[in-house]
Structure 1
Amino acid sequence: MEEPGLSRSAASTTVGGDFPELLGFCARVEALIAELLLLSDRAPPQFADRRFDSVLFDFRYLDSPGDFESRVEGNIELEALEDQLRESCGSYMQRFFSLLDGAVTYHEELCNYLNDLQEGLYVHCTLDHVLENNCACQLLVESMALFGCMILLMEHKISGLLRERLLVAHLRYERCFSYPNLERMCELCRRHVPSLAMSASSGSSVFSPDIISIQKPEDLLRRFPFPEPVVDAVITCLRNGDVYNNIRFYPDPQHRTTALSLQGGHLYVLLFYSDDILHRGLAMREIVDRFFKDNWMVPIFLHFSVDLLVSWDAYKEAKLSLVSCLSPNSIRDISLQHHTKVTHFLADLDIHIHATNKEYVLDNSLSLLSVIRECNFTLRWLLLHHMTSDKKARDLVISVGSSQQVNEGTLLQLLLKTAKLEFEVKKLHAELLKTRENIWYEKKRDALECIKDLSQNYLGTWAASCKFKNKTLKDWLEHLSSELISLNYTSIGSCGRTIHRVLSTLKDIEMLHQIKESVQIKQGFSKIHKNLHDMIKTLNLNHEAINILSVITDAKYAWVYLTLFETLLKKNISQDPSETKFLHTVFLKFQSWLSAPLQRIKQCESPDLHCISTYYSSKFAAKIFAVLDVIPEILLKTSTAVDYVNIEQPTHLVNRINQEALQELMQMDQQLCRARHAAKLCIISEGLGNMSSNFGHLVNLNLGGWLKKVIKKELAIQLERKLKCLSSYGDMESNLNSLSNFMVSQMQRMEFLEDILHIDGSSIWQETFTTVLEQCAKKEFVELMACTQESANAVKQLNNVYSPSTFFGNLLQHIVQLTNPSHSMFIEAMIGWFDAGGHELLGMRFFNLLELCVGQVGLACLDSLVHILIKHSVENTVKSLHSLVDAKRYEDLTKMDDILGPPMSIPLMGWSSYKQMVKVLHSAWGQLVEKLATIGQLQLVRTLISFKLRSSCKIKANTITSAVEVLVSSLYMHKGAFERGDEDETVRFFHHIIQEQQNFCGLFSPLQVIYISEDPPVFLTRLLSLFSISQLPRYVLDVHLGNLTSPLKGSTADFSAVGLVQSCGSLILSV
């Protein structure tokens, strides 16, 4: 409900002492409404899913539960759905059940209290006494009206069918059909008549979710009635009195309906509890004339409103009374009156905003309050009545606005400027209050100095052309001076009277002929007048102005407009980042939306305060962050133009500069452009700082954490887009060069933003960079696994038909294709692969460039993907070797072992035994050569990656690398225990982490890594030796290259890859 102003706070102590029961009721019903809103926001999607219709029942279940249960029992599918529903929605249904129980208990206890109050069972407390006490009357009205609001909100936010299904489901799952309040809870949940359909006179709008429109609300509310005498007494009090004392804040009679809007909202709800007032023409004409003669949109709780033109459509006398004041012509005239003021207000606000300072606020306090009051009055009418559900009325309001060129953008500007002026006036007024004693004494000292100067002039001590002697005037001034000296700030009443007497005396003195003719003396007297008036104004400074501002600036009724204006605000910020400097003033204008529903809960010191304030704070913060969501994109986009060093076109320093080239070298245009963009970033930083500093007492925004999170998100999007772009087309090396420039520029931007926004930009960049690369590698891992399942030779797939969709997939395919043993040669001395013409295909230069682009993280990700390919190739090769040794070959190999003799001796039969076995296996090598060469190829690639990782980590993180080396060495001493599995879970986890760090630092030898754990093929080493013997005749020694090469170009695999398969035996761990 709308906050009534300071009167609630000022009366909190008295209310809590004299009427603790009523205060407790108000706190409880506000807590119930907060729980209702929370639950309505988090309704389980399962209850709207048609798949669950078979296990969700309405109140027809209570008439014949056996029939419904028989449908579910024995049906496996339905029982599975029930289990899923119970598991996923059980806690929600329990909270909803507790809400219903709390609501019916509240109504029962409040009715008992009201009955006891009528019967006079409370000492010194009767119904008349409560109604006569202003604070108690407020509590009584709220305790009844807010409960009615809760029922209306429940019908509006949670449909009757959903309520019935939730209650029945909870009763079935918890088996609590004998719960004491169950009958009343069913009455609360029972479906009401359908919501009011949109007729020709009404239409849907974007505000429909926040406008309560219920058909026959009196039937709904009378399910839980209040004692009729109490209802009549409270309605009479609301009709005739000023319950919240708000009229004093609105002296203009035209603002009367706004002053009474809070109790008007309560009155709207309580009228449905009365039997006949809505049908009595005279009573309704009085009510409409006092509360609704110029407005028909009535907020009843926070931003939830009702449209009287629609809501009272079914009540003849009420509708006639309303239409008599709000005919189409009246609506047009009222709308025109408000819309024509907008342009004037915008210009007036600009003047006040630019002139506002302490002196201005002190001199123009009343006029500033008047401007703020008028702006808020017009703003309130326009924003509320643009939401109207009645189509004719809405068309009238919008058409008048269009004729006056007032649209959503204009209303937003009025809201922004009004909020800005309010914020400045409140801040400056608070500062004046804090320092008013010092200001008063300063003005007093200035006035005394002016009097002293004038007195000296009359004595002739001045060497001025205007000097003359007048003993009487001298005595008067000295007397005035002594009176001012005697003034004391603590005696405000006597001070005021004395100052007024001094001012009267000064006016009499100024009437003298000699004074009138002297410009200099008249100026001195005007200074005295100014200081004395400022002293009076300073004495008049009090908290009343703050109280007035807190009431007249309330805007929680327009909370829904924050969503509507979100797009416009983002557009304004994108076009002019200086908008962020005062963005906090807009949200501060809505702070009553956060504080109003907690007012009674705070006064009552309820234990529910924390959880309820957390709910409202989260909603408030979500609105703020929704608008600020555009800032990360602006920051990164703007910072693009603030690079200190252009990576792609570096500026070379020269020893001597020609005068003609100086202007070009200074790059003034570029520097000016960069300075402007840097200024934009500073403005955004200032705006975020204002947001953070002004919301500390309201919401814990944690803007630093949020900014870090959203910058990471935006940075990740840009990085993913860049990686995807590079993986789709172009030469790999040129793409890597482009990526390298992009990475350096991004890092520079983050370092620059670190200084501007006071965030850890380097850390944000490293974390985002690492996360994006790891996610890219995971995606490629999934695609690689799918590829390995489809094909026995994944590397061949990479070479031929595989179309990678990720950066790492494209990179891996590029490496595999360039290092293909059939088309390239690895030269160890040159550490790279070369083609037949001697051109380098891939070498350390490529890996250096790759490390510059993706760092150690990228290299480690690439190494893990190569590891997967090697493991897959080893598994397929081992399968081939298993199938190679059939029964016949097994017998031949056994005989060969017998012929060769013991392993440590010279073979008895010499070369002939090997030669014979090579011939036997010659036809079997076939595809095995290609598979073994692929393993060697990938091992060489992984060796280079490991070398680059190790060297890079040694340079960039030597301390960490040394620490990992020491840990790895110490763990190697316990290798046996690890292999036996004797260690516990913690030690195994520690060993796994150290192994990951070891791989990341490149502290491993790929040739010693075990890829699979299974029984090796029989005679594995013998088969590998025979394989090598069979392949050696194909190669000759090239003394220039220091390597074996094939004289038959293109027909034989690279020897470096083939020869490396001798280590294949170490890739398999026997189990």
Structure 2
Amino acid sequence: MVDFLAENNLCGQAVLRIVSRGNAIIAELLRLSDFIPPVFRLKDKSDQHKYGDIVCDFSYFKGPEYYDGKLENKPELQDLDEEFRENNIEILSRFYLAFESVHKYIVDLNRYLDDLHEGVYIQQTLETVLLNEDGKQLLCEALYLYGVMLLVIDQKIEGEVRERMLVSYYRYSAARSSADSNLDDICKLLRSTCYSSQPGAKRPANYPESYFQRVPISSTFISMVIGRLRSDDIYNQVSAYPLPEHRSTALANQAAMLYVCLYFSPSILHTQQAKMREIVDKYFPDNWVISIYMGITVNLVEAWEPYKAAKTALNYTLESANIKEQASRYAASMESLRPQVLQLLKEGFLREEIILDNIPKLLNCLRDCNVTIRWLMLHSAESAYDLNNKRLRQIKDQVLHDSKYNVKILFQLLLDTAQFEFTLKEMFKQMLSEKQIKWESFQKEGSERMTELAEVFSGVKPLTRVEKNENLQAWFREISKQIESLNYEDSTAAGRKTVQLIQALVEVQEFHQLESNLQVCQFLADTRKFLHQMIRTINIKEEVLITMQIVGDLSYAWQIIDSFTLIMQESIRVNPSMVTKLRATFLKLASALDLPLLRINQANSADLLSVSQFYSGELVAYVRKVLQIIPESMFTSLAKIIKLQIHDIMEVPTRLDKDKLKDYSQLGARYEVAKLTHDISIFTEGILMMKTTLVGIIKVDPKQLLEDGIRKELVKRVAYALHKGLIFNPKAKSSELMPKLKEMAATMDGFYRSFEYIQDYVSIYGLKIWQEEVSRIINYNVEQECNSFLRAKIQDWQSVHQSTHIPIPKFPSVDESATFIGRLCREILRITDPKVTCYIDQMNTWYDLKSHHEVTNNRLFSEIQNTLGTFGLNGLDRLLCFMIVKELQNFLVWIQRTVLKDKAALDVFKAMLGAVNPIQGIVGNASKVYASAVAKTQKIWSAYLEVIMKVGQMQILRQQIANELNYSCKFDSKHLAAALDNLNKSLLADIEAHYQDPSLPYPKEDNTLLYDITAHLEAAGIHNPLNKIYITTKRLPYFPIINFLFVIAQLPRLLYNKNRGKSCFCFHLTILLTVLKPTCPVSFLTSSEQYCEDLDEAFHHAFVAIDFLTADILTCHIRKSTGVLVITLTIASSVPVSHDSVTGSLHAQYQDLRN
């Protein structure tokens, strides 16, 4: 008969692929459960207020027109909805595919059952498949995995969240219009069950059986699967657990399958007492907490509470006397097993001959240890008991009391058992690999001994006092041939024959009275010893390793092992060498991967790699979590060292007087530093003792693990310091900015010095790690801060700066800023607010308008450089860019929606256009025309001025940042600065040459050189913020005349004031160009005719307006600076200036520049 799992058996391959896919789907659901966007939970009031109208549950389907109408009536809601779609459609699609896979799984299983019923598979029916061992296993697994999927979905992804995600996907995707879409069926299957996994939550009625029945499955199939699970040992596990008291452990996996499958036939749980009594007697006579899949635990007391038959049957197990008996038995086992395992683990005890002679005893010890650990871990697990349930609380208290439960002793037994199991496995694997070589070696030695004895009795080979004996000579030669004829391949016959040969050698020694000759006796003893070794070696079988693998399964602890984390960490902190024992425990836990991967591997599925990576990654993440105590302890010691070095130990001068030597010795403090440094070295040595380990499919290098741990701890501490250190009180009398920056600089210097100190003791590149991680922290926080300005936000899982292994912590925001970099930026903007301060360009300083005191100056940016480094300044510059873009976008929207929609204002603009044309002429009655236009449009200038001042303020800050970056780059790395400057100039020269002669080369679209060099130039401060085009837009009507009127409206404020010096109004016309640029289709490298025309219009009108104003203008000068027109008005005294002198001068210079 063809093997059921053979590639040419279509029936077997079909169900194998279904089961394989089931395991992959569960892995995907578990993976995605960590990436649910928080907004779909709607837990925060802010989220409810913001997204309540666009994130809907299934109530949406009752009246989609109502919800869609809401959106259509509110443009701002449409914008939010579109932004929400852009940010979440990718993750929604991933979730939908997972949900769709669940539905497709059960549809495919039903189709397979129909095919079996209709005879599609020749000579195969449901009954014949269930008679086959593999077929029986796969069909039972197929139903069980579907149940697990549904339970996992309900536990990990709440019903309301599922509904909101499905509705959002329905609204945002094209799936609903697809002809083959099964979205309706998926929604019916996965609609909310009202189940909550929160402790104390009330269980919904008829849950989960009503949930399991949403997609009908053949009742015959369910009945036959439950029948097989009730009656058969479908995995033949009992052979690995021969003792009757271990039977429930042997059948634990099958019991979990039966538990899940019973929900597909709830009548058994409710009414069929005989069946339930049979099930409980077979599977749950001594246990009531089970693991159903990869450590998901279930307490039957709670799970079977609503079912009369199940509850009644389980009451016998839950009798106080039975609980006491079981708990006491395992307490006694733990007491007796610990010394046994410790004895076996003694150095040199487990030798090859000991193992070969005591395989059954060693396996029994392993069984007892694992069974005891399993029962105690499951029945004492916090997650298995809802402490709000009085009965569960009583049962748990009794278990802990009667088992004399001590978590540390249990943990120690787990460690010792894992180490014993690991050692035994490794030795047995080695013996198995050398089995044939050793057996043949013993065979050869035994045969040669017999040949030599035959020669001794031939009389040819002289041996003291041995007479010639032809009979013995012939007999020994025959024995030699018999030994040589033993066949390694036929181990059973060879073993039987070897025993006979040993008996024959004993008899020949007795009957022929050979004891008198010691040399002959020695030959015979040696041969018997070799034959005994051959028997031992032939008994080294792979079945022993398989039994150890079955017995050592720790998949039930996949989740509850986390409750031992603190104990593990404390053990490592006290004794770092404990890591070697933990290595064995982690490898034992890795055996859990066999369960989900077995069928995927058998099916040769492409999912093997992704599922392996997921579970291996989960385990490696747990290993990192446990071992993180080592970097934490190192940093604690390091903080003490730095404190001693800064505050206690005096720096020894270059020259020191002899009589002061004792004062500087400070032996106590130096001893403490040496002791702490030694502790750091010990911790390092401890983790490096772990050796390179393959955890699942991921290789764990202890050195890399240590470095990642140090990076993680550094990131955690630095990120926390930046978060706490850069919180400002806007109501403080004087700004806290500079004091907090100085304090933060000292903190960062402490971290830096500690890294510099530690690097040699732990063999890491301290400076490299410091720069990489600090830059990552700052760039990540800048990215998160900039998210508030983006429609398509960058999620953590999309960020290039965020890491799974070395995560950057996120802290709750304390104000409108999301991160410390936002708080820093907004504090700088607050203290340099142009409404309350005045910026003096020549002094690079801001002064308070009222008190005339200095607020801050360019030393501020030097302090930020000291605190956050180049990364911080660069990040601040990037954030300011986003803020400018936001301001300009809002400004343009305001212009379009307010100014250009105001009919009265538009009439003024049209009239002005008529009045000032032609541009070359002089406006008649200018004073009256301009004054009237400004008066009629007065209401728009305050908002206009506010935008100009905000953008100007941020541009000045960007200039200051660029200056500081450029200065520090030239000072710290003059060669880099020179190289970048030269490369920049040469690139600009080449590009300019290309525009003059298009035949010359120009960078292609796929060439990233310009983008790459721009990033480096900005980081080195080799750029001019005034040249930057922040946004692009279509040309706005009347924009030149609006700007012209704005200038006219503000010029009266440029008056001389003796008390305040030359000017009372900080207004730079250059800043206006930032607003003008997006309205002009112009490159920052070349000027187009359109740009000149717009400037001509706007500035010409501004110039000719001066003739009727009392201006304080001493000189007028226009110059072109790196592509920007700079107009300088020097204010001197309150003297009316003639139109001709000013306008003529400006026009002459402007026309020269334009030409």
TM-score range with shorter-chain normalisation? 0.5 to 0.7
Deviation at 1:136, TM superposition (A): 0.8
Deviation at 1:117, TM superposition (A): 2.3
Deviation at 1:188, TM superposition (A): 1.3
Deviation at 1:731, TM superposition (A): 15
2:190 corresponding residue in structure 1: 189
2:426 matches 1:380 = no
Tell me, yes or no, if the aligned pair for 1:856 and 1:953 is still in contact at 8 Å.
Answer: no
**CA 1:530/1:17 → structure 2, altered by over 3 Å: closer, same or farther?**
farther
2:928 corresponding residue in structure 1: none
**CA 1:636/1:457 → structure 2, altered by over 3 Å: closer, same or farther?**
farther
Deviation at 1:130, TM superposition (A): 0.8
1:573 corresponding residue in structure 2: 572
**CA 1:394/1:258 → structure 2, altered by over 3 Å: closer, same or farther?**
farther
Deviation at 1:133, TM superposition (A): 0.6
Q: Residue by residue, what CA displacement relative to the aligned partner does 1:694-751 show, whole Å, maximum 9, x if unpaired?
A: 22x5236687766545433433566789999999999999999999898566324224
**CA 1:717/1:119 → structure 2, altered by over 3 Å: closer, same or farther?**
closer
- The 2-side partners of 1:182 and 1:100 are apart by 10
Tell me, yes or no, if the aligned pair for 1:339 and 1:400 is still in contact at 8 Å.
Answer: no
2:354 matches 1:345 = no
2:794 corresponding residue in structure 1: none
Tell me, yes or no, if the aligned pair for 1:100 and 1:185 is still in contact at 8 Å.
Answer: yes
Q: SS of the counterpart of 2:297?
A: strand
Q: Residue by residue, what CA displacement relative to the aligned partner does 1:900-944 show, whole Å, maximum 9, x if unpaired?
A: xxxxxxxxxxxxxxxxxxxxxxxxxxxxxxxxxxxxxxx999999
- The 1-side partners of 2:653 and 2:500 are apart by 79
Tell me, yes or no, if the aligned pair for 2:454 and 2:476 is still in contact at 8 Å.
Answer: yes
**CA 1:480/1:86 → structure 2, altered by over 3 Å: closer, same or farther?**
same
**CA 1:72/1:553 → structure 2, altered by over 3 Å: closer, same or farther?**
same
2:362 matches 1:368 = yes
- The 2-side partners of 1:729 and 1:364 are apart by 75
**CA 1:552/1:22 → structure 2, altered by over 3 Å: closer, same or farther?**
same
- Which moves more between the two structures, 601-610 or 243-252? 601-610
- Which moves more between the two structures, 782-791 or 298-307? 782-791
2:689 to 675, 686, 689: 686
AA partner of residue 346 (structure 1) = R
2:248 corresponding residue in structure 1: 257
Tell me, yes or no, if the aligned pair for 1:16 and 1:604 is still in contact at 8 Å.
Answer: no
Deviation at 1:135, TM superposition (A): 0.5
Normalising by the residue count of structure 1, what TM-score does the alignment of the two structures yield?
Answer: 0.67
2:922 corresponding residue in structure 1: none
Q: How does 1:979-994 map to 2 (within 5 A)?
A: 992=1014
2:325 matches 1:324 = no
**CA 1:965/1:54 → structure 2, altered by over 3 Å: closer, same or farther?**
closer
2:887 corresponding residue in structure 1: none
Report how many aligned residue pairs link the two structures: 871
Q: Residue by residue, what CA displacement relative to the aligned partner does 1:520-559 show, whole Å, maximum 9, x if unpaired?
A: 9999877665543332221122221221122111111111
- The 2-side partners of 1:228 and 1:30 are apart by 23
Q: SS of the counterpart of 1:287?
A: helix
**CA 1:443/1:403 → structure 2, altered by over 3 Å: closer, same or farther?**
same
**CA 1:478/1:1012 → structure 2, altered by over 3 Å: closer, same or farther?**
farther
Q: How does 1:895-1044 map to 2 (within 5 A)?
A: 953=973, 963=979, 967=983, 992=1014, 995=1017, 1018-1019=1114-1115
Deviation at 1:19, TM superposition (A): 1.4
- The 2-side partners of 1:408 and 1:310 are apart by 24
AA partner of residue 218 (structure 1) = E
- The 2-side partners of 1:213 and 1:515 are apart by 86
1:787 corresponding residue in structure 2: 831
Q: SS of the counterpart of 1:244?
A: coil
2:274 corresponding residue in structure 1: 282
Q: Residue by residue, what CA displacement relative to the aligned partner does 1:478-537 show, whole Å, maximum 9, x if unpaired?
A: 775665455554553443234312332454477799999999999987766554333222
Instruction: Extract unaligned runs of 5+ from structure 1.
Output: 1-9, 814-849, 869-938, 1002-1009, 1028-1069
Tell me, yes or no, if the aligned pair for 1:642 and 1:677 is still in contact at 8 Å.
Answer: no
Q: How does 1:625-1024 map to 2 (within 5 A)?
A: 625-636=624-635, 677-687=680-690, 689-690=691-692, 693-695=693-695, 698-699=697-698, 708-715=707-714, 746-753=755-762, 755=763, 760-768=765-773, 783-789=827-833, 790-792=836-838, 794=845, 812=863, 953=973, 963=979, 967=983, 992=1014, 995=1017, 1018-1019=1114-1115
Tell me, yes or no, if the aligned pair for 1:642 and 1:749 is still in contact at 8 Å.
Answer: no
- The 2-side partners of 1:55 and 1:942 are apart by 43
1:437 corresponding residue in structure 2: 436
Q: SS of the counterpart of 2:306?
A: coil
- The 2-side partners of 1:233 and 1:948 are apart by 78
**CA 1:88/1:570 → structure 2, altered by over 3 Å: closer, same or farther?**
same
Deviation at 1:330, TM superposition (A): 0.5
Q: How does 1:104-503 map to 2 (within 5 A)?
A: 104-173=103-172, 174=174, 175-176=176-177, 181=182, 184-192=185-193, 215-274=206-265, 276-278=267-269, 279-355=271-347, 357=350, 359=352, 360-387=354-381, 388-389=384-385, 391-393=390-392, 395-402=394-401, 404-444=403-443, 483-484=482-483, 487=486, 489-503=488-502
**CA 1:552/1:725 → structure 2, altered by over 3 Å: closer, same or farther?**
same
Q: How does 1:1035-1054 map to 2 (within 5 A)?
A: none
**CA 1:336/1:511 → structure 2, altered by over 3 Å: closer, same or farther?**
farther
Tell me, yes or no, if the aligned pair for 2:240 and 2:547 is still in contact at 8 Å.
Answer: yes
Instruction: Extract unaligned runs of 5+ from structure 2.
Output: 43-47, 727-735, 783-819, 840-844, 882-958, 1024-1067, 1074-1098, 1104-1112, 1118-1127, 1132-1152
1:841 corresponding residue in structure 2: none
- The 2-side partners of 1:520 and 1:394 are apart by 74
AA partner of residue 763 (structure 1) = K
- The 2-side partners of 1:996 and 1:64 are apart by 53
**CA 1:64/1:638 → structure 2, altered by over 3 Å: closer, same or farther?**
closer
**CA 1:445/1:803 → structure 2, altered by over 3 Å: closer, same or farther?**
farther
Deviation at 1:367, TM superposition (A): 2.2
Q: SS of the counterpart of 1:325?
A: coil
AA partner of residue 44 (structure 1) = P
AA partner of residue 261 (structure 2) = L
- The 2-side partners of 1:159 and 1:434 are apart by 51
Tell me, yes or no, if the aligned pair for 2:870 and 2:965 is still in contact at 8 Å.
Answer: no
1:86 corresponding residue in structure 2: 85
Q: SS of the counterpart of 1:245?
A: coil
**CA 1:492/1:383 → structure 2, altered by over 3 Å: closer, same or farther?**
same
- The 1-side partners of 2:995 and 2:118 are apart by 86
- The 1-side partners of 2:504 and 2:234 are apart by 45
Tell me, yes or no, if the aligned pair for 1:345 and 1:375 is still in contact at 8 Å.
Answer: yes
Deviation at 1:125, TM superposition (A): 0.7
Q: SS of the counterpart of 1:226?
A: coil
RMSD, matched Cα: 5.8
- The 1-side partners of 2:106 and 2:960 are apart by 80
Tell me, yes or no, if the aligned pair for 2:577 and 2:686 is still in contact at 8 Å.
Answer: yes
**CA 1:507/1:797 → structure 2, altered by over 3 Å: closer, same or farther?**
farther
Q: Residue by residue, what CA displacement relative to the aligned partner does 1:387-408 show, whole Å, maximum 9, x if unpaired?
A: 3336535544444434554233
Tell me, yes or no, if the aligned pair for 2:256 and 2:292 is still in contact at 8 Å.
Answer: yes
Deviation at 1:224, TM superposition (A): 2.4
Deviation at 1:41, TM superposition (A): 3.5
Tell me, yes or no, if the aligned pair for 2:370 and 2:552 is still in contact at 8 Å.
Answer: yes
Q: SS of the counterpart of 2:313?
A: helix
| Identical residues among aligned pairs (%) | 27
**CA 1:81/1:471 → structure 2, altered by over 3 Å: closer, same or farther?**
farther
**CA 1:767/1:599 → structure 2, altered by over 3 Å: closer, same or farther?**
same
Q: Residue by residue, what CA displacement relative to the aligned partner does 1:109-135 show, whole Å, maximum 9, x if unpaired?
A: 433432442354431112221111100
- The 1-side partners of 2:322 and 2:858 are apart by 67
Higher relative contact order (CA 8 A, sep 6+): 1
- The 2-side partners of 1:195 and 1:346 are apart by 41
**CA 1:16/1:446 → structure 2, altered by over 3 Å: closer, same or farther?**
same
Deviation at 1:29, TM superposition (A): 2.7
